[in-house]
Amino acid sequence: SYTTDTKSREENKKTLENLYSLSVDITKIRRLKEWVLLQDVAYVKEIAGILQEMGADETTVANIIERCPEAILHTPAEINSQRALWQLVCQNEKQLIKLIEQFPESFFTTEYQQNQKANILFFQELGLKNNIITRFLTSAPNIFYNPVEKNRNVIETLQRNYLNLGGSEANMKIWILKLLSQNPFILLNTSTAIQENLEFLQKNDFTDQEVLQLLSKLKGFIFQLNSTTMQKSMHFSKNIFKCSDQELKQLVLKCPALLYYSVPVLEERLEGLLKEGISIAQIRETPMVLELTTQIVQYRIKKLSALGYDIKSGNLESLNGTKKDFEVTYGKIQSKKARPIFNPVAPLHIED
């Protein structure tokens, strides 16, 4: 609860002096979060000292404070507690300081320390490796702000549903850990929302095995949707591809993006493909192409066209996949084009 009212308040001279002595670029702080400089109490030297104790040099300390100025408003006790907390999953202080430099905001959010600690211990107990937990702490810090009971509840709902859908007890732990590693944000959903989404799929005639398949393919993103948006997306796809319910189901299993993306996103991507001269029939044959943004599709078509590959008459498989997949496909087409027509190892018939 720091005051952010900047009117008629002066910058704290002592804070400024201490920041200057650490070679911190104060203009950056003024531009980012000037209110920090107006606070009556700041712990500039103390926080810098703790960071230096962990192995940070002067440049690193200045960089951290410039990126996250509110760091200096935390008490040394709060920061030492946070340090001890993150050390539960960090190999050493060298790794810890590197993480703080990359993700200072995550480290200096100290309001939820009890929840953070309980969740770290829960994730370790669940079997998540420490390097995955550190990734969560930096890239999905808000999952640690939940009370541990809430996260436990979501995990138990997932486990129960996995078994109900025919998943085996032996594979359940691997499945849960993989799902969490791919998408920790599933923990921000409620157990009710998870249950409703699974029921929606079952009502739409997806078998238990198919629902499990979709959950794995969607990396848990299905839990961030709701039945209304999924219904609209499926209705849109059914109209566009002029297919039966059974055919639509097969398309969704082939390309879960038809379920995941909203109608406006699907419309925009479809329009981009049609503008390139690609037909609806081609898209229906290879719906995974809708997983790519219009810009990526245009870029790939351009590269393939430069090799003389006509996407309008071929299938769309060559456009698909990750950047790495595409580069492999492109390389194969390129080497095929560059291959000599004659057989270089065949004997040459030269007249004497």
The pLDDT tens digits of the residues spanning 203-233 come to 998 999 999 888 877 777 777 788 899 999 9
The b/e string for 257-268 (b: 16+ C-beta within 10 A; e otherwise) is bbbbbeeeebee
Which one is predicted more confidently, 6 or 144? Answer: 144
341 in a structural domain: no
Across 214-218, 335-339, 344-348, least confident range: 344-348
Identify whether 211 is part of a domain.
Answer: no
Domain-located, residue 72? yes
Asked, for residue 24, whether it belongs to a domain, the answer is yes
> Is the pLDDT at 44 greater than 80, yes or no?
yes
pLDDT at 160: 92
More confident residue, 27 or 260: 27
**Looking at the domain assignment, is residue 202 inside a domain?**
no
Q: Is pLDDT at 314 greater than 80 in this prediction? A: no
Local confidence band at 351 (pLDDT 50, 70, 90 cut-offs) = very low
Lowest mean pLDDT among 35-39, 106-110, 310-314, 345-349: 345-349
Q: Where in the sequence is the domain holding 93, given as residue range(s)?
A: 10-110
Residue 88: band (very low, low, confident or very high) from pLDDT cuts 50, 70, 90: very high
pLDDT digits (tens, 9 = 90+) for 128-139: 999 999 999 999
Give the chain's end-to-end CA distance (angstroms, integer). Answer: 97
Residue 343: band (very low, low, confident or very high) from pLDDT cuts 50, 70, 90 = low
Quick one: residue 57, left, alpha or beta (phi over 0 = left, psi -120 to 50 = alpha)?
beta
Could you tell me the pTM of the whole model?
0.77
From CA 229, how far away is CA 6, in angstroms rounded?
Answer: 43
- For residue 222, tell me if it sits in a domain: no
**Residues 83 and 49: beta-carbon distance below 8 Å:** no
Residue 335 in domain? no
Residue 103 lies in a domain: yes
Contacts (Cβ under 8 Å, ≥6 apart) of 204: 234, 245, 249
Question: 268, 327, 266, 275: which is closest to 298 by C-alpha?
Answer: 275
Percent helix, strand, coil in the chain, to 5, is 70, 0, 30
Contact 47, 73 (CB under 8 A): no
Question: Cβ(190)–Cβ(196) under 8 Å?
Answer: no
Number of domains in the chain: 1
Query: CA gyration radius for the chain?
Result: 27
Among 251, 267, 167, 170, which residue's Cα sits nearest to residue 204? 251
